[in-house]
Each structure stands twice: as C-alpha cells, then as structure tokens.
Amino acid sequence: MEQPAIAQAEENSITSQPLSKNAQKRAAKAARLQEQKVERRAREKEAKKRKRRERAQAGDAEPRKRRKMGGFHQTSFAAQVVIDLGFDDMMTDKEVTSLTSQLAYTYSANRRSSTPFTSLLFTSLNGRTKARLDAINDAGYKRWTNTKWWEEGYDRIWTSKSDHCDGDEDLDAHRTSVVYLTADSEEELVELKEGQTYVIGGICDHNRYKNLCLDKAQTSCIRHARLPIGRYVASLTTRKVLTVNQVTWFRYIVCLSDSEGCTAYL
C-alpha cells in the first residue's frame, strides 16, 4: 500500500530541482523588495491622507495640485461676514466637530474666491468649539488671513462704536447695517450690499431648534432675512437651511440669473 506514495515522492523530487544558492539569494531579495514596496506604498498613502486632513482642518481644503494653479485676480467685496458661535452648549460633541470643519471650508472658500468678502469675523468663541479649534493643527485657525476672533458676542460690532457715535441715531445706523441670515425670517434678501455685515448662525443642530437665529436677531433688535433659495435653485425649494459654508457661497448664487449656474455653485 505504501509503494505508490513512495513512487510519487520520488517523482516529485525529480521534477522539482533545487535552486542554486545564487538563485535562492535572488528570489529572497525579490521577495524582500516586493514586501518593502507594499509597505512603502501603504505609508505614502497614509501620509497623503494625513496631509489632506490637516489641510482641511487648517482651512485649506483644496488639494495641493489645485493650489499651485493660482494666479487669478481678486477683487474684494466690501462686506463682512460674521459667524455667530454662541451656540456651543446646544450641540453634541459630534456636531461641534462638524461645525469646526465647516468653518475651515468657509475660510478656504472665501480665501480662494475671485471676489472674497473683506473679512470673516467669528464671535462668541468659547467652550468646546474653541477647544476643538485649538487642538487642530496647533491652533492653525489663528493664522487664517483676514479673519478676526472674538470671545464676545456679535453685538460688540455696534456697542464698541458707541463711544465714537454722535447720539443714538448714529449708533442705530451701525446697528441697521447688520443683517442676521436665517431661514425662519419672512423677509427675503434680494441682494447683498457692500458696507453691510451679514451674520450666520454657527450651529449644527440638524434642525432641532426652531426659530433659534430669528429669536436671537429679534432680541438684538437687528434686521433678519432669509436667502432666496427657492427662487434661484428649484431643486432646493424644500431645503431652506444651509450649512455654514454653503451660506457664504450664496453671495455668488444671488448674482446669477440661471438656475443651472446657481446649482453649480452649490
């Protein structure tokens, strides 16, 4: 019974000739090189992912090959955008993380626009939002150009000017130049004007809170308005609430006349 097995073993030993020492060395070297190649590619892939995350968190959301293109002319739009961050205690930790990512994309989009807003002002910076931003890229947000960061609320815009105002009428003029953008307002904003300040509610709540920004605007006695989303973009007629970074892009949408172009900007 064992003879067929022995015969098979002898046949295998004849057909599979042993490799020479040089051939064995070459095979071992090739195996090592292949293994090193796989490990190197894995490291490079992970490094690219890490750099993309760091650029996005630091407000530079565009990939490097896009950033090298540059060279376009910029004409500033003389208006200010304010991101009201006074909702830190109303969000979950996950929502705070989402908000800080949106802030980075907002800054990046404005910085790379051909007609950027003159400045971005972030108010009521505190709590977990500040802690999260401080932890990203060694507090990279502090190096964002043409931005200001206040721990105080946005009402400082007009209260800080009270010492330089000639009476209540002058102070009211500063207040009336501020518009809080909220989807809950009945007033529709038909155009953006230079010299105005537009406030955006910096909160990610998935629509849990109703009339939140509207109530805040009314308490501050400032104007409020909603963006004409349904008028310009038919596909968004039922989706009135935009993320922080989408709102800042809407200045370009309201200047377009055709819905196809508007959709492209969103």
How far is Cα 72 from Cα 23, in angstroms, rounded to an integer? Answer: 59
How far is Cα 50 from Cα 68, in angstroms, rounded to an integer? Answer: 19
Residue burial 226-259, b: 16+ Cβ < 10 Å; e: rest: bbebeebbeebeeeebbbbbbbbbbbbbbeeeee
Strand extents, DSSP E, the chain: 77-84, 117-123, 147-149, 178-181, 197-201, 223-225
Which of 134, 184, 205, 215 is flagged as catalytic? 205
Q: State the pairing for strand pair 77-84/178-181.
A: unpaired
**205 given a catalytic annotation:** yes
Catalytic machinery residues: 205
